[in-house]
A and B are shown apart, each in its own frame.
Chain A
Amino acid sequence: MRSHLLLLVLFAFFVSLVFATIAKDDVREQVRLGAVMFAGFIACAIALGWLMYPLPL
């Protein structure tokens, strides 16, 4: 498994899962928080990746 994107998605999934499980008690709230965190991780990673695209200048 060498795909950086796949590893990033896997990492984001595990961290979101554990954080959402710790932070919320209700299953529906856990799913909602987990999904938001997961989407945030992926969106930030892709956005930062594109911002760093021209580097090194």
Chain B
Amino acid sequence: MRATAAEESQSGNLVLLCLASWAIPGAGHLWLGRRNKGLIFLVALPLMFAIGLALRGRLFPFDFSDPLVLLEALADFGMGATYFLSKALGYGAGDVRAVTYEYGNAFLVVAGLLNVLVVIDAYDIAVGRK
């Protein structure tokens, strides 16, 4: 059975919504008119990520030979545009000698994972589950 034009358009919008929500934390909620939620995510998640960088946390590389590093890299990648911007500006090298190194990693990883939850929440709202 072929999808109708309206269904294709709707699924295209959903993909765009999820991409926007991933790239800019809270953008999906702002798009859907959930302004307060969107603004909280827009401020809290990048701030949490920035604190992680300030604590000398590391943005892990996609190293397929080390599963734990790969998982941390995937979690960091969850922050979308903030992740790429930080990489481009040279942040996230990490300093394993710093006292706050592990705290920094915890902030970076959890910020990325929370953003993935935010994307899923935006998707659920868009399809009418919430």
Interface residues of B (CB under 8 A from A): 36-37, 40-41, 44-45, 47-48, 51, 54-55, 99-100, 103, 106-107, 110-111, 114, 117-118, 121, 130
Q: Is the CB of A1 within 8 A of B117?
A: no
Total contacting residues, chain A, CB less than 8 A = 15
Q: Is the CB of A14 within 8 A of B48?
A: yes
Which residues in window 1-57 of A have CB below 8 A to B?
1-2, 4, 7, 10-11, 14-15, 17-19, 21-22, 25, 27
Q: Is the CB of B106 within 8 A of A21?
A: no
Q: A18 — nearest CB in chain B belongs to which residue?
A: B114
Q: In the complex, what distance in Å separates the CA atom of A14 from the CA atom of B45?
A: 8
A56 vs chain B, min Cβ distance (A)? 19
